[in-house]
Structure 1
Amino acid sequence: MYCTAVFVLAALPFLTTAFPSHHHLRGTHTPSPAPASGIPIPIAKRGAGAPVDAASISRNIAQSVAKMQRGFAAFEKNTGRPHPLSSGSTGLQTRATGSDTLTADGQELWYGTIYVGTPKKSFTVDFDTGSSDLFLPGVQCTSDCQGHTSYDPTTSSTSHDRQATFSLAYGDGSTVSGEQYSDDVTVAGLTATGQALGVATTYSDGFASDNFPPDGLMGMAFQSISDYDAPPFFQTLIEQGEVDDSVFSFKLAPSDSELFLGGVNPALYSGSFTYVPVTKEGYWETNFDSMSVNGHPIVFERNRDCIIDTGTTLIVGPLAEVALVYTRIPGALPGPQEGIYIYPCSFKKPITMTFGGTSFTISPETFNLGQIEEGSSMCVGGLGYIADPELNFWIIGDVFLQNVYTSFDVGKSRIGFANLA
């Protein structure tokens, strides 16, 4: 039975497939498809207040960069080849990682309900396009798992021990570790049979329920960066014929947000899609054309490789290039914590990013993360920098994604952006 599924987010202040790749595609425009059916599933969104926690933002950036580096290491382990974006990076095998949404107390994340096992048991997960694995706290977890719903594979008749362990290291030096299992995982009525998942026996402080409301995390990138070297959930759905189309889509916005499995929701965007090809399957990796501030283009010297990541809050880029952008914002200067810039809160001029020849505007509201401190006239910008000069790629996170409707096309190996309805 082929289905399409929708996840609706509540508004408050994420095996290489059998489908062919199309890396030769340039930016293209596709008209809106016919209306699609879907199953609405409530999802909560956690947001930050003002003033912003600048130290938390700094950790957020460091963890996002470290998450990418862990994926580079997994890519090399799984394919036998170094990832192109890891070239020149030092410490690739030892630097740690994690989703920024896992520890940042003042950050945003989107999460919803999944069901695991037979009989089915419900859990909440953060949906993250910057990683590829699913993990949940296990019943034997005694470290920061309190307040989360735990998974017990011995109570499920469809669970199987994969006879392997996992250990995911994070930017603060902590880890999430445990045993690998497989079980049936259902989201909005769509079931991935025998889906690989990690059952954690250790959670870091960042996963404590006060910091991380969902129980676990579901990665939605490609198998080549999976620590389990197993198909991610959505790719399993494709292989087992559970979805109408090999596409999932996000609207991450202050209201009416959703994750849509098996296509796109025409009610949530307007006009046509601009598609850009995935340049390397692993992450959702592509290139962007340019940026501008108040109509003034920013001239970059290097190719703008970028990773589209719902699990990163900010837009993050190489230090020199980010500094160049901020020269167009009068009064902007490096913040008190590594990775951030601050700028006058009164600045309201448009900032745009161009993909496939189409420019999309970042609203001043999403770019402004909040005052650096109570009563200050300076705010933290939604564009952060990578401190390591050897890392020359960008991470396009929710500061941009909240302004567009985004489709992730596994079958055609491309990413689409459209204006919000």
Structure 2
Amino acid sequence: MRSVLLLLFIWTWTSSALVRVPLKRVPSIRSQLRSEGLLQEFLKENRPDMFGRRYSQCFPPGTPSLRLGRSSEKIYNFMDAQYFGDITLGTPGQNFSVVFDTGSSDLWVPSTYCVSQACASHKRFRAFESTSFRHDGRMFGIHYGSGHLLGVMGRQLTVAGMTAKNQEFGESVYEPGSAFVMARFDGVLGMGYPALAEILGNPVFDNMLAQKLLDQPVFSFYLSRKQLVEPQRGELLLGGIDEALYNGPINWLPVTAKGYWQIKMDSLVVQGVSPFCSHGCQAIIDTGTSLIAGPTEDILNIQQLIGASPTNIGEFIIDCARLISLPRITFVLGGKEYTLTSEHYVRKEMLGDRMLCFSGFQAVDMVSSEGPLWILGDVFLTQFYSIFDRGQDRVGLATAKQPVVV
């Protein structure tokens, strides 16, 4: 018997099957750990290689995400994730906060049967209270750069003025380690291509497209860094774009590999000089990664150019008094320049009464068939409105409008 569950997004209708999902900006796991003096111990205990050895016996034999090298093929950097939106699962509805992540393709939330400490601090799906739920019975395992999880799968019917039938999702029953304990989000809703999915079946957006629920096979993100009075810090728009949220023309970039939203990067220029990616390279547009990541050698050179010094836990810190003198960094995509100043690529955090400034660049060695990959996360995307077009397999970028603080 097929299982059925209701999924209701907390969204607002505009017109013609356009759905707005408000996104909130909250302190990241890294920021919380730092403020509580726990970051150094956390990073020591949660290195991916150590974590894999310690917990591999807890997962079913042959779990795809634990195969040698798999962790380097998929990137999840939720330690720095800050933008979350709300969904509701079940009948009657049960609310969850999730990361809408273009760097993965699965939907999962914690289960009421979860035995991990991380689940105790989050909302958990109570299948026995949902009149529309039937258990699917299969198991799944997902590897994250900051943890692993194991779960069982169910099916659901999606309703919010629109109906997407038989949407599969994961119920997490095991989240070992402390990676998700501090997280402000409960789960993840992946928006990448089906090739990234660990869970069988169509990703959420693919199901919407297959059932013709949206006028356009497009979704778009607006992420703001401004500290506004209202809690909303961004928006995901399903089914189209909002011209009120960006300036100028859209620069369209073809997807070069249908897994991540992967595009070609022409070059990376630091203060007018192009010592990186000078002959072109591949990049990923990833809303689930906060920082900008690239090959270790290149990132270390960038850290040196911006005057960032390494700490004993692998972060790079910058003298806040020098920000005005730091170089501009320009990404050339589709022949168009996207320039970030130090105000964009430096992350500021308060530790007590002291301001700390951290580099927004991170070394991640990720290789594809086309060579090393760069990851353009939220440090980049807060400046540019991003559009993901599944109809023509392309990514659009335009200058995001920044709100005026009164």
Q: Tell me how far 1:215 sits from its aligned partner.
A: 1.9
TM-superposition CA deviations, 1:281-329 (whole Å, max 9, x none): 1111111111222333334366421111111111010012223334533
Who is 1:384 aligned against? Answer: 362
Instruction: Select 2:82's aligned residue among 98, 101, 109.
Output: 109
Instruction: Select 2:343's aligned residue among 365, 389, 409.
Output: 365
1:240 aligns with 2:240: no
Q: Distance in 2 between matches of 1:184 and 1:384?
A: 39
Write out aligned runs for 1:179-258 (5 A): 179-186=152-159, 189-204=161-176, 205-208=178-181, 211-255=182-226, 256-258=233-235
In structure 2, the CA distance between the partners of 1:288 and 1:140, relative to structure 1 (3 Å rule), is: same
Q: Distance in 1 between matches of 2:136 and 2:298?
A: 44
TM-superposition CA deviations, 1:111-161 (whole Å, max 9, x none): 122122334332221111111000011111131212422213344344343
In structure 2, the CA distance between the partners of 1:52 and 1:356, relative to structure 1 (3 Å rule), is: farther
TM-score in terms of structure 1 length: 0.74
Q: Tell me how far 1:6 sits from its aligned partner.
A: 9.6
Q: Distance in 2 between matches of 1:249 and 1:286?
A: 16
Q: Tell me how far 1:355 sits from its aligned partner.
A: 0.9
Q: Tell me how far 1:95 sits from its aligned partner.
A: 6.6
Q: Tell me how far 1:369 sits from its aligned partner.
A: 1.6
1:352 aligns with 2:324: no
Q: Distance in 2 between matches of 1:152 and 1:355?
A: 45
Who is 1:162 aligned against? Answer: 136
Q: Distance in 1 between matches of 2:360 and 2:93?
A: 40
Q: Distance in 2 between matches of 1:96 and 1:415?
A: 21
1:395 aligns with 2:400: no
Q: Is the 8 A contact 1:195 1:236 kept in 2?
A: yes
1:406 aligns with 2:386: yes
Instruction: Select 2:124's aligned residue among 150, 157, 165.
Output: 150
TM-superposition CA deviations, 1:201-257 (whole Å, max 9, x none): 11232222xx11222111110111100132111111111111111111001112451
SS for the counterpart of 1:167 is strand
In structure 2, the CA distance between the partners of 1:405 and 1:389, relative to structure 1 (3 Å rule), is: closer
TM-superposition CA deviations, 1:26-71 (whole Å, max 9, x none): xxxxxxxxx9885555432113569967759979x977xx9xxxxx
Q: Tell me how far 1:184 sits from its aligned partner.
A: 2.0
SS for the counterpart of 1:224 is helix
SS for the counterpart of 1:112 is strand
The structure whose RCO (Cα within 8 Å, separation 6+) is larger is 1
In structure 2, the CA distance between the partners of 1:240 and 1:39, relative to structure 1 (3 Å rule), is: closer
In structure 2, the CA distance between the partners of 1:58 and 1:320, relative to structure 1 (3 Å rule), is: farther
SS for the counterpart of 2:289 is coil
Instruction: Select 1:325's aligned residue among 295, 302, 308.
Output: 302
In structure 2, the CA distance between the partners of 1:361 and 1:7, relative to structure 1 (3 Å rule), is: farther
Q: Is the 8 A contact 1:161 1:180 kept in 2?
A: yes
Q: List runs of 5+ in structure 2 lacking aligned partners.
A: 1-8, 52-62, 227-232, 402-406
Q: Distance in 1 between matches of 2:34 and 2:220?
A: 29
In structure 2, the CA distance between the partners of 1:385 and 1:412, relative to structure 1 (3 Å rule), is: same
Q: Is the 8 A contact 2:109 2:188 kept in 1?
A: yes
Write out aligned runs for 1:16-31 (5 A): none
Q: Is the 8 A contact 1:288 1:304 kept in 2?
A: yes
Count of paired positions: 358
Q: Tell me how far 1:385 sits from its aligned partner.
A: 1.0
In structure 2, the CA distance between the partners of 1:120 and 1:193, relative to structure 1 (3 Å rule), is: farther
Q: Is the 8 A contact 2:107 2:170 kept in 1?
A: yes
In structure 2, the CA distance between the partners of 1:356 and 1:335, relative to structure 1 (3 Å rule), is: farther
In structure 2, the CA distance between the partners of 1:185 and 1:249, relative to structure 1 (3 Å rule), is: same
Q: Distance in 2 between matches of 1:223 and 1:356?
A: 25
SS for the counterpart of 1:380 is strand
Q: Is the 8 A contact 1:353 1:361 kept in 2?
A: yes
In structure 2, the CA distance between the partners of 1:96 and 1:322, relative to structure 1 (3 Å rule), is: closer
TM-score in terms of structure 2 length: 0.76
**Residue 288 of structure 1 aligns to which amino acid in structure 2?**
M
TM-superposition CA deviations, 1:171-213 (whole Å, max 9, x none): 45x4211111111234x644432111001111232222xx112
Write out aligned runs for 1:283-362 (5 A): 283-300=260-277, 303-329=280-306, 331-338=307-314, 340-345=315-320, 346-348=322-324, 349-362=327-340
**Residue 199 of structure 1 aligns to which amino acid in structure 2?**
E
1:139 aligns with 2:109: no
Q: Tell me how far 1:109 sits from its aligned partner.
A: 2.0
**Residue 133 of structure 2 aligns to which amino acid in structure 1?**
S
**Residue 196 of structure 2 aligns to which amino acid in structure 1?**
I
Q: Is the 8 A contact 1:344 1:377 kept in 2?
A: no
Please give the root-mean-square deviation of Cα atoms over the aligned residues, in Å: 3.6
Deviates more, 1:158-167 or 1:281-290: 158-167
SS for the counterpart of 1:122 is strand
Who is 1:44 aligned against? Answer: 24
In structure 2, the CA distance between the partners of 1:116 and 1:373, relative to structure 1 (3 Å rule), is: closer
Instruction: Select 1:279's aligned residue among 256, 262, 265.
Output: 256
Deviates more, 1:392-401 or 1:378-387: 378-387
